[in-house]
Structure 1
Amino acid sequence: MRLFLCEKPSQGKDIARVLGAHQRANGCFKGAGVSVTWCIGHLVEAAPPEAYDERFKRWSLDHLPIIPTTWQVSVKANTSAQYKIVKQLLAVATELVIATDADREGEMIAREVLELCRYQGAIQRLWLSALNEASIRKALAQLRPAEQTRRLYHSALARSRADWLIGMNMSRLFTLLGRQCGHNGVLSVGRVQTPTLRLVVDRDREIERFTPVAHWVIEVHLSLAGQPFTAQWVPPDTAIDTAGHCIRQAVAQQALQHLKQAIVAHVLDVETLRIREAAPLPFDLSTLQEVCSRRLGFGVQQTLDIAQSLYETHKACTYPRTDSGYLPENMRDEAQAVLDALIISDPNVESLVRSVDRNLRSRAWNDAQITAHHGIIPTLEPFALDALSQDERAVYALIRAHYLAQFLPHHEYDRTVARFDCGGWVLKAKGKRIIEPGWHQMLQSDLSADEDEALQRSQLLPVLEEGTGCVVRQVTLKSLKTQAPKAYTQGELIKAMKGVARLVTDPRLKQALKDATGIGTEATRANIISGLLSRGYLYTKGKSVHASEAAFTLIDSVPPAIADPATTAIWEQAFDQIESGHITLDSFLAKQTAWVTQLVEHYRTKTLSMHIPGGPTCPLCGARMRQQHGKHRTFWSCTRYPDCRGALPVAAAASSTKHRRKPSRSKPPGY
C-alpha cells in the first residue's frame, strides 16, 4: 500500500481527490492501493528536561547545563489520536510519499514521525508549490527521491535543538539569577526571540535619547516663461552638519537677505539622466508582510494567516512561506493560463489584464535565483472570488498586481538637477519628467511612504539651459528640527529581522552575513513577533511596536552575544550550510553544546545588575504588580495573573510608586 503523509487535513483532501482516494476513513482517505493521511502540524515535539531526568522538574542552578546525550521526542497530547492513526497506516505501508509542506519545517514534521514509528519502507518526496489540481498532478509526475531532501530534515533538527539548548538552559539560568535579585517573573530567553527583542529595545532607546537639532532651509520660488518651480538654497560647507543640514542660523539669515534682494537667478549648469526602473519582483513572504503592514495595517501573523488561507483553502495563490520573489523560467510558459484564470476569477479586471503585454519578459523569471520556493503568484486555475473575505481580497489584489507588473514596461523618467547663481548664493532645483509610466500604473498604491512622498514632491522643471535667467518670485526661510527615528511597525520589524546584516558594524561579520537570511525564517518570523507580544515583552501602540519594561530588564541581563542579531544570523547561515551538506548536524550541535556550557559556567556565580520595575502591591493577594498596555489604557496587573486577577489604574497606584527611582535604561555591558 502506498501512503501519502500530508501536513494538514486540507492538503490531504486535495491530494486524495487527485489520486482518486475518495473513501473517507478515520483520519485518512483511502483508494485502490493508496491511502492519504496527515499530521495536523507537528504530531511530536521535543521532550522537556524532566523527560531526561525527573529531578529537572525543579529549576536549580546545580542542574545546569542540561545537555541531552540522546535526543527524545514525545507525542503531543492534543494530537495523539491522529498520531495513532498515522502509526497504524505506516505499519502496513510498503511505500511512503512525504507530502508535507515543501520546506525545512515540513520535512521535519514528517520525518520525526517516521523515525519515532521506525518506518523502514521506501520513501519518496512530493514537492508542491500550489494546491490546485494541475500543480498537484505535475508534482506527482515528478516525485523526488527521499535522499534529495534528507538534509532539509537535518537543518530543521539543528534549528530545533539549538532552540532547545538555548531556551531551556538560558531561560532557567537567568530566571534563577533574576530571583536572587528579587525579580519574580520568568526571564524567557530564545535563540531568535531575544535578538528580535533587542532590535525593538535599541530602537526605543534611540528614540528616547534623541535630541532634536535645529536647522534652517531656504526655499526660493522661481519662474521661467510663466512656469513656476521651486529651488533650495545650498548652504556652504562651513555651515552644515554631516547630514547636510544648515545649523548656523546667522549664515541662513545672511543668505536670506541677499536672496530677497535678487531679481533673477541664472542657471549655472543642468544635468539630466534617463532612469529606467524594473518592476518589483513578485512577493516573498517578508515583503508581502511589510507591504500589508504599511498599506493595510495588518499584523505580520494576520498577513501570513491570510496568505496561507489563499493558498490552502481558496487555491488562489502559490505557497506563501517563501524567501524568494523569483520565478522558474519554465513557469513563463504558464503565464497565459494564469492571466486567463485571473479574468475568469474576476471579470472586473479583464480590461486591466488585457492591457498588459503577455510577451514581455521581466527579470523575475530566473532559475539561478530560485531557492526552495518561488515567488507568491496567482495560480493557473480559476477560483471563487466571492468566497474571499474583504481582507483576503485585499491581500490577493496585491499578489495579483505584483504578478501583472511583470508584463508591463520599465518605469522611465528623466531626472534633472539644475544649479543657479542667485545673489552670489547657489540654489539647486530637482525635477522629474515621466517618459513611460510602465509598471507604476499597476503598483502606485504599493510604493513605500518615502517613495510616495518623493513622488508627490517631484516637480516638472521648464526647459533650462546654462545662462538662462529665471525670475525670483518669493523667498522663504524655514526653521526646522531633525526628527527622531520612527518606532518599528510589525512590517518594518520583519524587514529588520531579514536584513540584519545592514545593522552589523563589524566588517568581518558584515561580509559573512551579506547573503544570509537574517533572523529567523519566512515561516517563523511572524510567530516570533506574536510570541513576544503575547508574553508582554512587546506591545503595540497604533501601528507601531514598542518594548515593555520587562523587555529592557531582559536585554540588560542576558549575555550580549545571545541578544546580538548577528549571532543568530550566523546560526541561520549554519542551518543553510547543513542543508547544502557543507557542515554536519553533529558538528553544529557539538559547537552549540560547548558554547551553552561555557555561558552557564561563566554566569552561574554572577550577580545580575538589573532594574526591578517598581510596581504597587496587589490589593487582592499582596504580590507585586506590573504595568500592562491595554487597547485603550495602561494599567497595573498582578504578576500572578491568571491565578489572581487583581488590577489597578495607573493613577491609583501613583502615590505608592512616585518616590521610587526612575527606571534605568543604561546600555548593557558590551553594548
Structure 2
Amino acid sequence: MRLFLCEKPSQGKDIARVVGATQRGTGYLSGPEVCVTWCIGHMLETCPPEAYNPIYKSWSLDHLPIIPEDWKVEVKPKTATQFKVVKKLLGQAKELVIATDADREGELIAREIMEYCGYRGPVHRLWLSALNPESIRKALLALKPGQETFYLYHAALARSRADWLIGMNLTRLFTLIARRCGHDQVMSVGRVQTPALYLTVIRERAINDFVKQPYWEVEVTLRAEGAEFMAKWKPQGNIVDAEGRCIDRAQADQALRQLTHGQAMVTAVDVERVSERPPLPFDMAALQEQCDHQFGMGVEETLNIAQSLYETHKATHYPRTECPYLPESMLKEVPTVIAALGKTDPSFVPLLQKLDLTVRSQAWDDVKLAGPHHGIIPTTEAADISKMSENELKVYDLIRRRYIAQFMPHHEYNRTVAMLDATGMVLKAVGKQIVVPGWKVLFTRDVEAEGDEQAQQKSQHLPNLQSGQACGIQSAELKSLSTSPPRRFTEGTLLKAMKNIADVVEDPRLKAKLKATTGIGTQATRASIIKGLMQRGYLDKKGRSLSPTSAAFALIDTVPSMVKDPGMTAIWEQASDEIEAGRMPLETFLKGQSVWIGKLVEQCSQLTLSIDQPPSPPCPTCSAPMRKRNGKNGPFMSCSKYPECKGILSLSPAKKTRKQ
C-alpha cells in the first residue's frame, strides 16, 4: 500500500480525489493499493522539562541550564485519536509519500511522526505549490526522492530545539530574577520574540526622546500661460537644517514679504520621462503589509485568509513564501490562468481581453527565485468567489490584480522640475503629467502604487514653461511646521522590520551579511510571534499602533545584547540555512546552542529586573518583597524567598495576616 501523509484533513481530501482514494475510513481515505491520511498540524510536541526530571516541575535557578541529552517528544492530547490512526497506517504501509506543506515545518510534521513510529520503508516527497487537481496531478508526476528534502527536517528540528532551549531556560531565568524583585509576571523570552520586542522598545524610546524642531515654508502661487501653479521657496545658507528646511522665522517672514507680488523668472526647466514597472507578485510579508496598510487587517488574519484561499478555495498558490518572483516555466500557464480569472469573475473579462500575454515582466526570473516557493498568484482553475467572505475577496483581489499587472504597459509620466528667480529668491515647482496610465489603472485609489500619499496629493500639472519666461506672482503663504517623531509600529510595519532586519543593524559587517537573509522568524511564525507579544502583556495595541509595556522595557533593559540583538538572531537563521543545505550537522548546531545557554545562565543569574509598577508589600516574616500567587482558595501573596521563608499575606479583607 502507498500511504500519503498530509498535514491537514482538507489537504488529504484534495489529494485523495486525484489518486482515487474514495472509500471513507476513520481518519483516512482509501482506494486500490493507496491510502491517504492526515495529521492535524503538529501531533507531537517536545516534552517539558519535568519529563526529563520531576524536580524541574518547580522553577529554581539551581536547576538551570536544562539541557536534554536525548530529546523526548510526546503525543498531543488533542490529536491522540488521529495519531493512533496514522501510526497504524504507517505500520501497514509499503511506501510513504510525504504530502505535508512544502516547507521546513511540513517536513518536520511528517518526519517526527515517522521517527516516533519507527517507519523505515521507502519515502518519496510530494512537492505542492497549489491544491487544485491539475497542480496535484503535475506534482504526482514529479515525486522527489525522500532524501532530497531530509535536511529540511533537520533545519526545522534545529529551530524547534533552539527555541525550546532558549524559551525554557531563559524564561525561567528572567522570571526567577523578577520574582526576587517582587514581580509575579512570567517574563517570557524567545529566540525571535525578544529581538522583535527590542525593535519596538527602540522605536518607543526614539519617540519619547524626540524633540520637535520648528521650521517654515513659503508656498507661492504663480500664473503663466493662463494657468496657476504652486512653487516653494528654497532657502539658502545657514538658515537651513540638514534637510534643507528653513529654521529661521525672521528670514521666512522676510521671504514672505518679498514674494507676495511681482514676477518670478524661469531659470531652468528639466523634464524627465519616468517609467514604472508593475509591482512584483506578493510574497507573504508584502501581502500582510499591504493588507495592514490598506484594510487595517492584522498580520495573523491576513495569513489565515491567504491559507484559506489556498486550502479551501483552491484560488491561489501556496502562500507562506519569502519570494515574489515566478519560475520561467510557468509562462506557458499564463493563458490558462487568465482564462480561469475570466471564468472566476466575468466582470474582469473586458480588462483581461486588453492584456498582452506575450509581455514578460521582471517577475519571471529563475535567477532570483529564492527558496522552494514562488510568489503568490492565482491557480489555473476558476474559483467560486461567491463562497468567499468579504475579507477573503479583498485579499484575493489584491493577489489577482498584482498578477494581471504583469501583462500591462509600464506606468509612464513626465516629471517636470522648474527653477525660478524672484528678485534673488529661489523657487522650485514640481509637476507630473501622466503619459501612459498602464498598470496603475488596476489600482484606482493608488493606495499601493504610490509610496508617498502626501506627495501624490500635491502633484500638479505645470504649464508649458520655458527658460527666461516671466510668471506673475499671485499670492504667497507662510506655513509654520515642525518635525515629526518616528511612527509607532503597526503589525504590518513590525513584520516588515523583522523581515528586513539588515535595515536596523548598525554593524557594517553584520549588515552586509544580513542583506542576503530573510530576517528573523519565518513567514509561518512572524504573525504568531507578534500575537504572542500582545498576549503576554509585552505590547499594547491602540488602534493600529503597537507600544511596549513597562514589562517590555524591564525585560529588554535586563537581557544581554546577544539575546535581544536582531542581528544575532538573523545569523542563527543563516545557520538553519546551512543545516538545510547539509553543510552543518544538527548536532554541531545544538551543541553550540547548549554551550551558549550555559554561559548566559551563569552571567545573568545575579542580575536584577525591575518593572515600573506599584511596589509589593514586605513579607511579614523577613521583610523581603511579596509576590502574587494563585492557590486553590484564590490569589494570595507569598514571600519571594519561598520555600526558605513561608510568609503569606491574604488578599481577602476578611482574613488576617498569618505567619507560618
Judge same fold: TM > 0.5, yes or no: yes
Task: Describe the shift of the 1:221–1:501 C-alpha distance in structure 2 as closer, same or farther (beyond 3 A).
Answer: same
Deviations along 1:489-531, whole A, 9 cap, x unmatched?
Answer: 1111111111111011110111011111111011110110111
Residue type matched to 1:281 in 2?
Answer: L
Task: Describe the shift of the 1:253–1:195 C-alpha distance in structure 2 as closer, same or farther (beyond 3 A).
Answer: same
**Aligned residue for 2:431?**
431
**Aligned residue for 2:499?**
498
Conserved 8 A contact 1:556-1:610: no
Instruction: Name the CA distance, whole Å, in 1 between partners of 2:377 and 2:477.
Output: 49
Deviations along 1:273-302, whole A, 9 cap, x unmatched?
Answer: 211111111110101001101111111111
Task: Describe the shift of the 1:644–1:227 C-alpha distance in structure 2 as closer, same or farther (beyond 3 A).
Answer: farther
Q: Which runs of 5+ in 2 are unaligned?
A: 618-624, 637-660
Residue type matched to 2:495 in 1?
Answer: I
Instruction: Name the CA distance, whole Å, in 2 between partners of 1:26 and 1:625.
Output: 53
**Aligned residue for 1:317?**
316
Deviations along 1:518-574, whole A, 9 cap, x unmatched?
Answer: 110111101101111222211211111221222122212211221111111111111
Residue type matched to 2:56 in 1?
Answer: F
The alignment's C-alpha RMSD in Å is: 2.0
**Aligned residue for 1:649?**
none
**Aligned residue for 1:555?**
556
**Aligned residue for 1:38?**
38
Deviation (angstroms), 1:257:
2.2
Instruction: Name the CA distance, whole Å, in 1 between partners of 2:441 and 2:57.
Output: 61
**Aligned residue for 1:94?**
94
**Aligned residue for 1:590?**
591
- 3-state SS, counterpart of residue 443 of structure 2: helix
**Aligned residue for 1:137?**
137
Residue type matched to 2:125 in 1?
Answer: R
- 3-state SS, counterpart of residue 416 of structure 2: strand
Of 366-375 and 277-286, the range deviating more from structure 2: 366-375
Task: Describe the shift of the 1:217–1:616 C-alpha distance in structure 2 as closer, same or farther (beyond 3 A).
Answer: farther
Conserved 8 A contact 1:405-1:443: no
Instruction: Name the CA distance, whole Å, in 1 between partners of 2:101 and 2:385.
Output: 25
Deviation (angstroms), 1:270:
1.6
Deviations along 1:14-42, whole A, 9 cap, x unmatched?
Answer: 00010000001011011100110111100
Deviation (angstroms), 1:444:
4.0
- 3-state SS, counterpart of residue 163 of structure 1: helix
**Aligned residue for 1:666?**
none
Q: TM-score, normalised by structure 2?
A: 0.92
Deviation (angstroms), 1:258:
2.2
- 3-state SS, counterpart of residue 324 of structure 2: coil
**Aligned residue for 1:107?**
107
Whether 2:232 is the aligned partner of 1:225: answer: no
Instruction: Name the CA distance, whole Å, in 2 between partners of 1:639 and 1:217.
Output: 59
Conserved 8 A contact 2:440-2:449: no
Instruction: Name the CA distance, whole Å, in 1 between partners of 2:46 and 2:461.
Output: 63
**Aligned residue for 2:454?**
453
Residue type matched to 2:362 in 1?
Answer: R
Q: TM-score, normalised by structure 1?
A: 0.91
Deviation (angstroms), 1:75:
1.1
**Aligned residue for 2:307?**
308
Deviation (angstroms), 1:244:
2.1
**Aligned residue for 1:668?**
none
Instruction: Name the CA distance, whole Å, in 1 between partners of 2:142 and 2:412.
Output: 42
**Aligned residue for 1:525?**
526
Conserved 8 A contact 1:166-1:191: yes
- 3-state SS, counterpart of residue 355 of structure 2: coil
Instruction: Name the CA distance, whole Å, in 1 between partners of 2:633 and 2:266.
Output: 75
Of 185-194 and 240-249, the range deviating more from structure 2: 240-249
Q: How does 1:166-315 map to 2 (within 5 A)?
A: 166-260=166-260, 262-315=261-314
**Aligned residue for 1:118?**
118
Deviations along 1:221-250, whole A, 9 cap, x unmatched?
Answer: 111111111111111131111222211112
- 3-state SS, counterpart of residue 271 of structure 1: strand
Conserved 8 A contact 1:219-1:233: yes
Residue type matched to 1:503 in 2?
Answer: V
Instruction: Name the CA distance, whole Å, in 1 between partners of 2:93 and 2:123.
Output: 10
Deviation (angstroms), 1:615:
7.3
Task: Describe the shift of the 1:644–1:556 C-alpha distance in structure 2 as closer, same or farther (beyond 3 A).
Answer: farther
Conserved 8 A contact 1:615-1:625: no
Instruction: Name the CA distance, whole Å, in 2 between partners of 1:343 and 1:33.
Output: 39
Residue type matched to 2:188 in 1?
Answer: S
Instruction: Name the CA distance, whole Å, in 1 between partners of 2:97 and 2:538.
Output: 42
Instruction: Name the CA distance, whole Å, in 2 between partners of 1:120 and 1:600.
Output: 40
Instruction: Name the CA distance, whole Å, in 2 between partners of 1:607 and 1:444.
Output: 56
Residue type matched to 1:347 in 2?
Answer: P
**Aligned residue for 1:62?**
62
Instruction: Name the CA distance, whole Å, in 2 between partners of 1:118 and 1:333.
Output: 43
Conserved 8 A contact 2:16-2:22: yes
- 3-state SS, counterpart of residue 434 of structure 1: strand
**Aligned residue for 1:469?**
470
- 3-state SS, counterpart of residue 78 of structure 2: helix
Task: Describe the shift of the 1:226–1:255 C-alpha distance in structure 2 as closer, same or farther (beyond 3 A).
Answer: same
Deviation (angstroms), 1:640:
5.5
Deviation (angstroms), 1:196:
0.9
Of 101-110 and 51-60, the range deviating more from structure 2: 51-60
Task: Describe the shift of the 1:353–1:477 C-alpha distance in structure 2 as closer, same or farther (beyond 3 A).
Answer: same
Whether 2:451 is the aligned partner of 1:442: answer: no
Deviation (angstroms), 1:582:
3.0
- 3-state SS, counterpart of residue 453 of structure 2: helix
Q: Which runs of 5+ in 1 are unaligned?
A: 618-623, 627-637, 647-671
**Aligned residue for 1:340?**
339
Deviation (angstroms), 1:616:
9.3
**Aligned residue for 2:413?**
413
Identity of aligned pairs, percent?
A: 53
Instruction: Name the CA distance, whole Å, in 1 between partners of 2:609 and 2:143.
Output: 57
Instruction: Name the CA distance, whole Å, in 1 between partners of 2:631 and 2:311.
Output: 37
Residue type matched to 1:581 in 2?
Answer: G
Instruction: Name the CA distance, whole Å, in 1 between partners of 2:48 and 2:476.
Output: 71
Of 247-256 and 43-52, the range deviating more from structure 2: 247-256
**Aligned residue for 1:655?**
none
Of 108-117 and 368-377, the range deviating more from structure 2: 368-377
Deviation (angstroms), 1:259:
2.1
Conserved 8 A contact 2:558-2:607: no
- 3-state SS, counterpart of residue 439 of structure 1: helix
Conserved 8 A contact 2:450-2:456: no
Of 242-251 and 42-51, the range deviating more from structure 2: 242-251
Instruction: Name the CA distance, whole Å, in 1 between partners of 2:268 and 2:613.
Output: 61
Deviation (angstroms), 1:643:
9.0
Conserved 8 A contact 1:183-1:612: no
Q: How many residues align?
A: 627
Residue type matched to 2:180 in 1?
Answer: Q
Residue type matched to 2:416 in 1?
Answer: T
- 3-state SS, counterpart of residue 368 of structure 1: coil
Instruction: Name the CA distance, whole Å, in 2 between partners of 1:377 and 1:405.
Output: 12
Instruction: Name the CA distance, whole Å, in 2 between partners of 1:589 and 1:82.
Output: 31
Task: Describe the shift of the 1:69–1:448 C-alpha distance in structure 2 as closer, same or farther (beyond 3 A).
Answer: farther
Residue type matched to 2:396 in 1?
Answer: Y
Whether 2:363 is the aligned partner of 1:364: answer: yes
Conserved 8 A contact 1:65-1:600: yes
Conserved 8 A contact 2:207-2:486: yes
Conserved 8 A contact 1:281-1:326: yes
Deviations along 1:456-507, whole A, 9 cap, x unmatched?
Answer: 2111111222211111111111111111211111111111111111011110
Of 318-327 and 547-556, the range deviating more from structure 2: 547-556
Residue type matched to 2:97 in 1?
Answer: V
Instruction: Name the CA distance, whole Å, in 2 between partners of 1:479 and 1:641.
Output: 60
- 3-state SS, counterpart of residue 129 of structure 2: coil
Instruction: Name the CA distance, whole Å, in 2 between partners of 1:641 and 1:542.
Output: 36
